[in-house]
Amino acid sequence: MTNDRERWGTRLGFVLAAAGSAVGLGNLWRFPYLTWENGGATFVMVYLLSVAVVGLPILVAELVIGRRSQRNPVGAFRLLKPATPWFLVGVLGVIAGFVILSYYSVVAGWTLHYALRAATGAFVHHTPQEMADRFAEFVSDPGEQILWHAAFMLLTMGIVVGGIRGGIERATGLLMPLLFLILLVLAGLSLASPGALEGLRFLFRPSLGDLSGELVLAALGQSFFSLSLGMGAMIVYGSYLSQETNLTTSAIQVSILDTLVALLAVLMIFPVIFTHAITPTESAGILFTTLPVILTDLPGGQIVTVLFFLLLAFAALTSTISLLEVTVSWAIDQRGWSRRKSTLLLGTTIWVLGIFSALSFGGGWLAEVTVLGMRGVFDIMNGISSNVFLPVGGFFIALFAGWALTRGAAEEELSPATGWSTWVSVWKVLVRFVAPIVVALVFLAAIGLL
């Protein structure tokens, strides 16, 4: 074990950073639009189940692998199982980090632009149609897309270059409490609107008829995406932990925080949507078209709207830093680069890759290319990473933790004190059998092999 490795300052600092990675556009943008597309409550229930049965055990597995090895994903598998192909799981993870960050930062850039616009009062008295037109205009403007994507990558790099304690832990310790505060205020406002009851019914009264293979895969993919699983982000965050931290407690706290934010997000969005009886036309655009119209109409609407977009920007930022940190930790450990050089080179490369996504809303071949029914570079990146990379990565990470780790390794990581042995046995069954089988079945069913 390397002793000069960077470390989290406090356990709370680590939990907030990991929750910061988990809580992001996945919770505030992706979860609501998937919930809408999949008809509400049934999706929400399957999602919750998937977090508990598959997500949580894999989160624990990643933390175990990370702390045990004290390495980035590639180095971790190499160290724990030398001279085997297992390191390829780490390679897949680092690649996934590249791809996800490249398109994620594009949407994150939108939130900055919208926060600024809201502050100048640009949304007052707009109809949903006007908002949709503006949105379409904005996303198809190449200059704006590249600029805001660049701005967000720069912010991310500015934090990651500061390292674990001075950069990531400090930023997330500040941003996460702010985010909770804003979210609570907004959800409260929304629940006070007349559509609250209808919103609650939509969200929490499931009907079995809605259940389908696609719904289950979408829920499973979302639980991976939301908890930042399947590509080693939590291996990396775990690798900066020292031996005292209880991994299970931390993993439970992170999952609870993440789920809470996802639920608050839909509680914030659907009551106001039902109150205004607006049917979101383009579901992925709800946050940028439908919601600002409603929010600006509330008392103090302009401030509320600014808060809302700041909320999105903060949440996105604490996630993009974790995505960049995966690739940076790889470069530092495996290539021996300095943190500064890694951040600069990798950040810039990811920005360049992201330009393809950034320009894919404006027509032309970037918007037209179609792979497996996904249309446009942005959708392809989004779909492939969360529906292919993450489930495949998660599948192997579970198998690795369940079967490949040396006897006693997981026990050592998970039983800091007596009284945890039952949990360790339960966890073993989950990562050995339940998680891999569920992921494999759902995955095969979704790609049509079952």
Please tell me whether residue 260 adopts helix, strand or coil conformation: helix
User: Cα–Cα distance between 226 and 51 in angstroms, integer?
Assistant: 9
Of 24 and 280, the one with the shorter C-beta distance to ligand TRP is 24
Of 305 and 319, the one with the shorter C-beta distance to ligand TRP is 319
Among 26, 238, 376, 394, binds ligand TRP (CB under 6 A): 26
Query: Can residue 21 be called a binding residue for ligand TRP (CB under 6 A)?
Result: yes
What does the per-residue mask of binding to ligand TRP show for 27-66, with x meaning CB under 6 A? x---------------------------------------
Query: Rounded to the nearest 5 degrees, what angle is found at the Cα of 37, between the Cα atoms of 316 and 107?
Result: 25
What does the per-residue mask of binding to ligand TRP show for 402-421, with x meaning CB under 6 A? --------------------
Q: Give 262-326 as a DSSP string.
A: HHHHHHHHHHHHHHTT---SSGGGTTTTHHHHHHHHSTTHHHHHHHHHHHHHHHHHHHHHHHHHH
Secondary structure letter of residue 1 according to DSSP: -
- Which of 22-30, 76-84, 176-184, 419-427 is the region at the interface with ligand TRP (rule: CB under 6 A)? 22-30
**Which residues are 370's β-sheet partners?**
375
- Tokens standing for residue 271: 């009551």
CB nearest ligand TRP: which residue? 26
Smallest CA-to-CA distance from 413 within 1, 72, 97 is with 1
* Torsion on CA atoms 193, 195, 200, 202, rounded to nearest 10: -150
Q: Give 308-332 as a DSSP string.
A: HHHHHHHHHHHHHHHHHHHHHHHII
- Which of 24-32, 39-47, 59-67, 131-139 is the region at the interface with ligand TRP (rule: CB under 6 A)? 24-32
Burial bucket for residue 287 (CB in 10 Å: 0-12, 13-18, 19+): buried
Of 234 and 366, the one with the shorter C-beta distance to ligand TRP is 234
Among 100, 218, 235, 401, binds ligand TRP (CB under 6 A): 100
Of 19 and 355, the one with the shorter C-beta distance to ligand TRP is 19
- Tokens standing for residue 53: 């049965």
Among 319, 327, 343, 360, binds ligand TRP (CB under 6 A): 319
Maximum C-alpha span of the chain: 64
Q: How far is the CB of 228 from ligand TRP (least distance, A)?
A: 3
What does the per-residue mask of binding to ligand TRP show for 60-99, with x meaning CB under 6 A? ----------------------------------------
Q: How far is the CB of 195 from ligand TRP (least distance, A)?
A: 26
Q: How far is the CB of 322 from ligand TRP (least distance, A)?
A: 5
Of 247 and 265, the one with the shorter C-beta distance to ligand TRP is 265
Q: How far is the CB of 47 from ligand TRP (least distance, A)?
A: 12
Q: How far is the CB of 229 from ligand TRP (least distance, A)?
A: 6
- Which of 42-50, 148-156, 167-175, 220-228 is the region at the interface with ligand TRP (rule: CB under 6 A)? 220-228
* Torsion on CA atoms 133, 137, 138, 140, rounded to nearest 10: 130
**# residues near ligand TRP by CB under 6 A:** 16
Using the CB atoms, write b or e for 47-57: b if 16+ within 10 Å: bbbbbeebbbb
User: Cα–Cα distance between 289 and 186 in angstroms, integer?
Assistant: 17
Q: How far is the CB of 22 from ligand TRP (least distance, A)?
A: 5
Q: How far is the CB of 389 from ligand TRP (least distance, A)?
A: 9
- Which of 6-14, 203-211, 224-232, 414-422 is the region at the interface with ligand TRP (rule: CB under 6 A)? 224-232
| H or E stretch covering 371 | strand 370-371
Among 233, 294, 312, 392, binds ligand TRP (CB under 6 A): 233
Query: Can residue 360 be called a binding residue for ligand TRP (CB under 6 A)?
Result: no
User: Cα–Cα distance between 233 and 245 in angstroms, integer?
Assistant: 18
- Which of 8-16, 76-84, 225-233, 330-338 is the region at the interface with ligand TRP (rule: CB under 6 A)? 225-233
User: Cα–Cα distance between 206 and 319 in angstroms, integer?
Assistant: 30
User: Cα–Cα distance between 149 and 111 in angstroms, integer?
Assistant: 10
Which three-class secondary structure string do you get for 106-139? HHHHHHHHHHHHHHCCCCCCCCHHHHHHHHHHHH
What does the per-residue mask of binding to ligand TRP show for 323-342, with x meaning CB under 6 A? x-------------------
Of 131 and 346, the one with the shorter C-beta distance to ligand TRP is 346
What does the per-residue mask of binding to ligand TRP show for 376-395, with x meaning CB under 6 A? --------------x-----
By CB under 6 A, name the binding residues for ligand TRP: 21-22, 24-27, 100, 225-226, 228, 231, 233, 319, 322-323, 390
